[in-house]
Structure 1
Amino acid sequence: MVVPTVPNDRRSLDFVSDQPTDGRRFRVLIVVDECTRECLALVADTSMSGSRWLGNWTG
């Protein structure tokens, strides 16, 4: 795998989820720049569709 050498060359996306003691679930979309390791976005919600997170990046 080629290591990115400039910022914004490659980004990683990941979803994490959790469930507090009240039983409600939530998800967080995490976007990280692989060169700088900077977290570009954290988007949290109880429900998140593909079109919703895509809307966060396309304006």
Structure 2
Amino acid sequence: MIIAIPLQLALVAFLLNEKLQKYYYEIVIICSVLSICSISIGVYNYIKKRGKIKILKDELIEIRE
């Protein structure tokens, strides 16, 4: 869904007048950048959380021993 919104905006941009297309393309670029940023933040948080889980697993193994 995050990627579909900029694609829909790009499709609508082709249907607009030439004067409005310039502003609409800027909106499409901004939405694309925001969607890429949100995906990268999600991946970063996933990797960060996974690293914490590994540390906790290692500590639990040490406690059990």
* TM-based fold match above 0.5: no
TM-score range, shorter chain: under 0.3
Larger Rg: 2
Structure 1 length-normalised TM: 0.21
Q: Hey, which of these two has a bigger chunk of strand by percent?
A: 1
TM-score of the two chains, using structure 2 as the length reference: 0.21
